Amino acid sequence: MNKAVRKAVIAGNWKMNKTPAEAKELLNAIAPLVKDAGCDVVACVPYVDLQTALEATAGTNIKIGAENCHWEPSGAFTGEISADMLAAMGVEYVITGHSERRTYFGDTDVTVQKRTRAALDKGLTVIVCVGEYLEQREQGITAELVAMQTKIALQGVSKEELARVIIAYEPVWAIGTGRTATAEQANEVCAVIRGVIKDLYDAEAAEKMVIQYGGSMNAKNAAELLAQPDVDGGLIGGASLKPADFAEIVKAATVG
CB 169 within 8 A of CB 143: no
Q: Which residues contact 182 (CB under 8 A, 6 or more apart)?
A: none
Residue 250's nearest CA partner among 2, 12, 6 is: 12
Q: What backbone phi and psi angles, to 5 degrees, belong to 225?
A: -65, -45
Instruction: State the catalytic residue, choosing from 98, 135, 161, 188.
Output: 98
DSSP 94: E
For the chain, counts of helices (H) and of strands (E): 11, 8
| Active-site residue, 98 included | yes
Residue 179's CB: how many other CB atoms inside 10 A?
12
Residue numbers annotated as active site: 98, 170
